[in-house]
Amino acid sequence: MLDAASRNRDFPSLSRMTYLNTAAEGICPLAVRDALVEYFEDKQRGSAGRPSHMAQWEAARALTAELYGLTPGEVGICSNSSEAFNLAALALRLQPGDEVVINDLDFPAGRTVWLQEGAPSVVRVWRAREGALRVEDLIPLLTPRTRLVSTSLVSFFNGFMIPLPAVIEAVRAHSPALLALDVTQALGRVPLDLRDVDLIISSTHKWILAPHGGGLVGVPSARAHEWTVPAGGWFNLEAPFEGQVGDPVVSKPGAESFMVGMPNFPAIYAIRAALEYLKGVGVENIYEAAQPLVTRCLEGLADLPVELITPQEPDALAGIMAFRHPRLPEIFEQLAAQNIHVMHSAGRMRVALHGYNTPEDVDHFLNTLRTLVS
Ligand SMILES: Cc1ncc(COP(=O)(O)O)c(C=O)c1O
């Protein structure tokens, strides 16, 4: 996929560290820096720069749509995943007695909005067993009152990837619920088939190699009615400058209702550049290149005295692995001192492997870890 020369050219900082933390922060290719400079130059033109800003925004939507399997009009871009989920909650207009299913492998952004004091719905928790979310454990939680099942495709916690077709089938068979899917830990890393998902959300600063500041929202047009956000603003409204002040306002339908004000154009330029880069490399190629590294890393970890908390089921693996050890804080510090970057939080250590990682990265990490845990 990338050879040593293209890796050095596009990601120069990677030659100075062993970077295994894309699940926290992706490294941007230099094309993203160029896009940020382009934004600055367009901004220097004042309002004459606006057509360029809008062109970048349209391009970012179109590229996102390709990854989501939607049309550009079915994509909105807000500022992060948490914002997208809060807007989605407004759209859902839950009533007392409505039910929402969340799970204990999910990132807080997708599961906390339903848990605020005063939130009207009953929340049911789909619990993982030995690190895996099993569809047979979801089914008893689904009822005629279930309005929403919200889950990540790939868990930020241990990397478990849910069996999406089976989850969709269960939701459809056992409830009238909508399915909201957070693809932050999969987009750009795993080829996706998101047909029949009702709401798709992703952050931008991880596997798609873009910077912070984007929340990529996909709403299939068939679901636009359910996901129209009743928020104030102007960018999201039909004819915001017409009629009398005090008249009721009308939101644009679906994805467009998730963009309430002026888009975050610096991020949009950069997201456009990152998605173009990704398209040039190809997500299939990234998957093919990185999956053997995941296997190599898991096999190495299995030989060490650590407690793996990522189920070793090939269909449930994406780019993330996690493990526990009694001395993780100290091990983390030692790894960092040797310029090996992983994540240590929530009681586990997390390793993330993207297409720009190499077998040498994995071996260096495993060899160093071996000396620290032995
Ligand atoms: C699955 C998932 N969703 C969302 C986020 C981030 O949410 P936000 O874009 O609101 O910061 C993360 C990690 O930071 C994540 O792992």
- pTM, two decimals, is 0.98
What is the strand order of the sheet 348-352 is part of? Answer: 307-308, 320-324, 348-352, 343-345
Q: Which atom of ligand 1 is nearest to the CA of 154?
A: 1
pLDDT tens, residue by residue, 295-309 = 999 999 999 999 999
C-alpha distances (whole Å) from 166 to each of 67, 169, 171, 172, 300 are: 21, 5, 9, 10, 31
In the predicted structure, residue 31 carries a pLDDT above the cut 80: yes
Q: Which residue's alpha carbon is at the smallest distance from atom 16 of ligand 1?
A: 156
Structure tokens at 170: 């269960």
Query: Residue 156 CA: which ligand 1 atom is closest?
Result: 16
Give dist(CA 346, CA 335) in Å, integer: 18
The answer to whether the beta carbons of residues 163 and 327 sit under 8 Å apart is no
Q: Answer whether residue 369 shows pLDDT above 90.
A: yes
Angstrom distance (rounded) from CA 123 to CA 119:
10
Local structure of 286: helix, strand or coil: helix
- Between the CA of 185 and the centroid of ligand 1 the distance, in Å, is 8
Please report the pLDDT score of residue 65 as a whole number.
Answer: 98
CA of 135 from ligand 1 middle (Å) equals 24
| CA dihedral sign, ordered 108, 113, 119, 125 | negative
Angle (nearest 5°) at CA 214 between 190 and 310 = 35
Task: Indicate the domain borders of the chain.
Answer: 4-20+282-373, 32-280
- Across 128-150, average pLDDT: 98
Could you give the C-alpha distances from 139 to 114, 165, 197, in angstroms and in order?
Answer: 20, 14, 17
Please report the atom of ligand 1 found closest to the CA of residue 106.
1
Place 374 in a pLDDT band, splitting at 50, 70 and 90: confident
**Fold (topology level) of 4-20+282-373:** Aspartate Aminotransferase, domain 1 (3.90.1150)
CATH number of 32-280: 3.40.640.10
Per-residue pLDDT band at 2 (split at 50, 70, 90)? confident
> Could you tell me the two tokens for 227?
């996901």
| Predicted confidence (pLDDT) at residue 1 exceeds the cutoff of 80 | no
What is the SS3 assignment for 320?
Answer: strand
pLDDT for 239 equals 96
| The one-letter amino acid at 214 | G
The pocket around ligand 1, CB under 6 angstroms, is made up of 80-82, 107, 109, 152, 156, 182, 184-185, 203, 215
| pLDDT tens-digit readout, 212-232 | 999 999 999 999 999 999 999
Q: What is the mean pLDDT of residues 16-37?
A: 98
Contact 64/283 with Cβ under 8 angstroms? no
Per-residue pLDDT at 136 exceeds 90:
yes
Helix, strand, or coil here: 367?
A: helix
Q: What is the mean pLDDT of the chain?
A: 97
DSSP state of 114: G
Exposure string of 158-183, with b = 16+ CB inside 10 Å and e = fewer, is bbbbbbbeebbebbeebbebbbbbbb
Determine the length of the chain. Answer: 374
- Ligand 1 centroid–CA 184 distance in Å is 6
For residue 332, CA distances in Å to 14, 24, 177, 247, 335 come to 19, 15, 41, 58, 5
